[in-house]
Amino acid sequence: DAFIEKIPFIIFALLIVPAVIATVKIANTLNEDIVVEPSPEVETYHDDTIAVVKENTYITAPVLDPNASIGKRYYDYLGDEETQEKALVRQEDTYYQNTGIDYVKEDVFDVVSISEGTVILVKDDDLVGKVVQIEHKNGLISIYQSLGEVKVQKGDAVYQGQIIGTSGTNEMDKELGNHLHFEIYENGNSVNPENYINKDYKK
Burial class (CB in 10 A: 0-12, 13-18, 19+), 147: buried
Distance CA 86, CA 72 (A): 7
Distance CA 40, CA 80 (A): 74
pTM check: above 0.85: no
Q: What is the pLDDT along the chain (203 residues), one digit of tens a residue?
A: 544 454 555 554 455 545 444 444 444 444 444 333 433 333 333 344 433 444 667 899 999 999 999 999 998 777 767 777 776 777 666 777 788 999 999 999 999 999 999 999 999 999 999 999 999 988 899 999 999 999 999 999 999 999 999 999 999 888 899 999 999 999 999 999 999 999 887 65
Q: Residue 143: which of 102, 196, 184 has the closest Cα?
A: 184
